[in-house]
Structure 1
């Protein structure tokens, strides 16, 4: 009988939107047991996630289901990568980027039923100076902007935060300090002045929508998106291109792929960046490296199917 363990993070944004942790935990247990699985669960207090992951991993379950946001998922990926224990994602955060990428429904009961029938599949992860990244790492104005409203809107609705980004972009972009970025990797090297750049394990889909979605989960490559826009109007054009899936055709966006990359910030010693929804300060040089098929995740083959790309290596 397959053995699963649920870790529900009581500090996730979903708890602040009225989801009852114990009811969610009980519902997940019942669904997994109906599917013929052994299921145990733990409610994790804020700050106790690392210890809970270590304890659950020591029991050697077939998979650990984490209920929380992208920060919770990133921490679980760091612990479970290379262990053979699969990671399942029950989305209880704000944007739930990793869950969306893997095709997990955002409604709790639907997500639990999906995970109870999903199978483990290996995917790449990106190491960012020792931090595990499943979805995206962003430098430039956006992490600073996000930090200003995250203090008052933690756990808010993803679409409200997305609208705030679109509405607030001109002002924040205009006053943002540019980064003199230099990069070197097996995909080439270069320099530019940028106010926004994103680095993704795999590649962004060319699809319509505000929340990013990825493809190429096992390509062994990361994709860099480095913006060269100088003013807010150009930044808004770039945002619209992204929303309508035209980012790969934007002439003000440098796009390239690499398996390893080193970033330097000119005279700057460090910067604030966003890694899978978590805002952290990191010193230069920032070193990124793809770990091929390092993590097993619960999903379906269909959700990992690759999309045709116009990006050149």
Structure 2
């Protein structure tokens, strides 16, 4: 039986929190051995992850564990989607949204033990202009804001970063220009002037918390959250609604579901977009398509159960 393979991205934000790559590899090997399984490890230098992922897919290990942040996970999903090769996530980023969604503990030792015993399940993937999105695709002021913020404050503790983002939001939101967003596809058509819009495979749970949690991993649908707030005060109210699980009742939020969409932004030819933490300049129109059960992941059936 082929061994599993761990690819650790040395450039992930977790390395700046004191996580030593070699020690992480040893922890994962020990956890797998405890479950009677074997795993090879490889530390990947920044900029070489895509090449390492291509090699890994050709090698066909029992499963591939990616140790990194959400950007690394998205890259892995792009390569593994449709291959049947199971993907496990070892959280070494800042927010680790994909790992949280799949129920992977944030502590490295606990995460390694979880992955060694996890089951293989298929989940939907959102294809965002050819990029694999497991968590969220964001338009508006936030991608440019987060790009500047990340260059200055890469890595670190997620909760500290979240507080900094929240306190910096009012001024940035006020100064940003709205996008004349129009969308069509799968029976959903509309338009809005928006400073913040998110497109999520599945949907967000209406629960209290700062970090978003998703559900409906195999619904075959994405949920669009198009904010129509124009002023900072309204944006802050919207953020508080989200934190307390009231986002679906916000009168300045347009929500709808679709399996595919085409997005336009007035006369703009390109738009800054954040896909699972990675900021890209994408040509318009931007096509979003749900790929049902496109990716196999290591988790448990309980974690993928739809929220009530």
8 Å contact from structure 1 (residues 94, 155) kept in 2? yes
Taking structure 2 as the reference length, what is the TM-score of the superposition? Answer: 0.98
Tell me whether 1:30 sits opposite 2:43 in the alignment. Answer: no
Secondary structure at the residue paired with 2:26?
Answer: helix
Structure 1 counterpart SS, 2:189:
strand
Aligned position for 2:73: 73
Q: Deviations over 1:231-273 (max 9, x none)?
A: 1111111000001111011110000000000000011111111
Unaligned runs of 5+ in 1: 309-313
Please list every run of at least 4 consecutive aligned residues from structure 1 whose deviation after the TM superposition is greater than 2 angstroms.
Answer: none
1:20-59 maps to which residues of 2 (within 5 A)? 20-59=20-59
Tell me the equivalent position of 2:277.
277
Deviation at 1:187, TM superposition (A): 3.8
Please say if residues 129 and 288 of structure 1, whose CA atoms lie closer than 8 Å, have aligned partners that are also in contact. yes
Contact 1:8 1:43 survives alignment (8 Å): yes
**Runs of 5+ consecutive residues of structure 2 not aligned to the other structure:** none
1:132 and 1:34 map into 2 onto residues whose CA distance is 33
Tell me how far 1:58 sits from its aligned partner: 1.5
Per the alignment, in what secondary structure is the counterpart of residue 292 of structure 2?
A: strand
What is the rounded CA distance, in whole Å, between the counterparts of 2:196 and 2:144 in structure 1?
A: 11
**8 Å contact kept, 1:137–1:200:** yes
C-alpha RMSD over aligned residues: 0.9
Residue correspondences, number:
308
How far did 1:2 drift? 6.2
**Residues 1-313 of structure 1 aligned to structure 2 (within 5 Å):** 1=1, 3-308=3-308
Whole-Å Cα distance in 1 between the matches of residues 5 and 33 of structure 2? 12
1:253-296 superposed Cα distances (whole Å, 9 cap, x missing partner): 00000000000001111111110001111111000000000000
CA displacement at 1:185 relative to structure 2:
1.3
CA distance in 1, matches of 2:4, 2:187: 40
Aligned partners of 2:173 and 2:140: how far apart in 1?
9
SS state at 2:193 partner: strand
The answer (yes or no) to whether the contact 1:2–1:37 under 8 Å persists in 2 is: no
- For normalisation by structure 1, the TM-score amounts to 0.97
| Superposed displacement of residue 3, structure 1 | 2.5
Q: Check conservation: 1:187, 1:259, Cα contact below 8 A.
A: no
